[in-house]
Amino acid sequence: MKRGIVYVFLLILVLSFSVKAQEIPEYRVGNINLGESTDISDAVALLNYLFQGGPAPVCLKAADVNADERVDITDAIYLLNYLFLGGPAISDDIIPPSESGNLVANG
């Protein structure tokens, strides 16, 4: 009887690790580095991409902070203005993965 319980437990354990729900990425405007929240590291990641050859944002639409359909230095300035100077709020829209890269980056 104990063996049966152990086998059932092991089967449940194995199945719980082998069956994972597919995670759908969630892109939010301003969360350029896909961290827990929008913060200064997002502006740094964008500037690094634009001027130092750093990795491109996974979602270019999330990097278009000022919603002008371009990704450039004005997006980093807009984000920093919002974070530290009480500037205009950024959109809280969630961007579907199918629309994640439909913009052009201009350094």
Q: Cα separation of 32 and 37, whole Å?
A: 10
pLDDT score recorded for residue 45: 97
Is the pTM above the cut of 0.85? no
pLDDT score recorded for residue 5: 66
Residues 35-83 have pLDDT tens digits of 999 999 999 999 999 999 999 999 999 999 999 999 999 999 999 999 9
Nearest to 97 by CA among 6, 22, 37, 4: 22
Which of the given ranges, 32-36, 82-86, 102-106, has the highest pLDDT on average?
82-86
pLDDT score recorded for residue 72: 97
> Which element (helix H / strand E) includes 5?
helix 2-18
What DSSP designation does 99 have? G
Q: Is residue 31 within 8 Å of 94, Cβ to Cβ?
A: no
